[in-house]
Amino acid sequence: MLRQRIATAIVLALIAVWVVLKLPAIGFGAALLAIVLLGAWEWADLAGMSQIRGRLWYSALILTLILTCWPLVGSTAFIGGLLIPVFAGWCYVPIWLRRYAGQPDRPNHSMTIGAVGIIILVGSWVALMGLRAEFGPGYVLFLLLLIWVADIGAYFAGRRWGRRKLAPAISPGKTWEGVWGAGAATLTFALIGAAGLSMGSRWLWFVAICMVTVGFSIVGDLFESMIKRQRGVKDSSSLLPGHGGMLDRIDSLIAAAPVFLLGLYGMRG
């Protein structure tokens, strides 16, 4: 199982790097759209849309919204105006998680989950497209590596020192030691990134953005775990061998992308 998981991770990482660095903007957008639509298909099921027809309508709605947004992803005003309320929503999610942990038997309404899925999936696509358009593919790749490094740090720190559960009612496997491991890995990689991306005097702000971004990536991971637990499933699907579904791979990125881009906007002024 571990070998299968590692092999799948390597293949996915190589494909992601190629898509980010080699494809033109329209190709990157199309590849990203395909990933988001796979996530939408899985999210619809997690929201209780078990019939194919309902999941098709849900995915079609997200497709329509993204195609509507596509011509506007070069506008900072549009992206900022869209992502600020998305960011505000992610700021509320920790409260949502805390309430669920206190009353795990009280389910969230399926329409609420469906509506949230539309907002965060479309928002993440817009954020990644805006990040590429305004800062370049290198920043997109850095964000992906940042999330991967944090995940690796959390995994190994959690396995070695994990004792105190982070959110046992939502994701029993996650620990506070894993969070500190993710933080340490993030800090190291952010400092390297600040030098590699020539941040100069803005290096401290950039490192802070990276730390906050990874914090929200953990929130995104927990949020999907909450939805899956409510639905009574371990993975969002069995699409990726050893990794579950597409949502299981992008849940952190969905939350991180808007935060990272808005942080860069603020740093740029």
The answer to whether the CB of 108 falls within 8 A of the CB of 100 is: yes
pLDDT of residue 25: 95
Give the domain range for residue 144.
2-268
User: So what's the pLDDT on residue 242?
Assistant: 67
Continuous segment of H or E residues that includes residue 171? strand 171-175
Res. 24: pLDDT tops 70: yes
Is 175 strand, coil or helix? Answer: strand
Which residue has tokens 């509506």?
115
Q: How far apart, in Å, are the Cα atoms of 12 and each of 7, 15, 30, 242, 243?
A: 9, 5, 17, 12, 11
For the chain, the domain total comes to 1
Q: Kindly tell me if the per-residue pLDDT of 2 is higher than 70.
A: no
Query: Helix crossing, 203-231 with 246-268: angle to 10°?
Result: 150
Q: How confident is the model over 190-208, as a mean pLDDT?
A: 95
Q: Are 146 and 213 in contact (CB under 8 A)?
A: yes
- Which carries the bigger pLDDT value, residue 235 or residue 211? 211
Give the span between the Cα atoms of 248 and 244, in whole angstroms: 6
Check if the beta carbon of residue 63 is closer than 8 Å to that of residue 37. yes
Q: Tell me the average pLDDT across 24-48.
A: 96
Residue 50 is which amino acid? S
On the question of pLDDT at 1 being above 60, the answer is: no
Structure token digits, residue 99:
């309430």
Across all residues in the chain, what is the average pLDDT? 93
Give the model's pLDDT for residue 69. 96
> What is the pLDDT at residue 77?
94
Residue 51 DSSP symbol: S
pLDDT tens for residues 78-110? 999 999 999 999 999 999 999 988 888 777 788
pLDDT at res. 196: 93
Of the candidates 3, 7, 2, 12, the one whose C-alpha atom is nearest the C-alpha of residue 248 is 12
pLDDT at residue 107 in the model: 73
Contacts for 237 with CB less than 8 Å, ≥ 6 apart: 41, 42, 45, 244, 245, 246, 247
pLDDT above 70 covers what percent of the chain?
97
What pLDDT, in 10s, does the model give residues 138-174? 999 999 999 999 999 999 999 999 999 999 999 989 9
Instruction: Report d(CA 222, CA 224) in Å as an integer.
Output: 5
Looking at per-residue pLDDT, the higher value among 57 and 9 belongs to 57
Question: What are the tens digits of pLDDT across the range 105-139?
Answer: 777 788 999 999 999 999 999 999 999 999 999 99
Structure tokens at 210: 């990276």
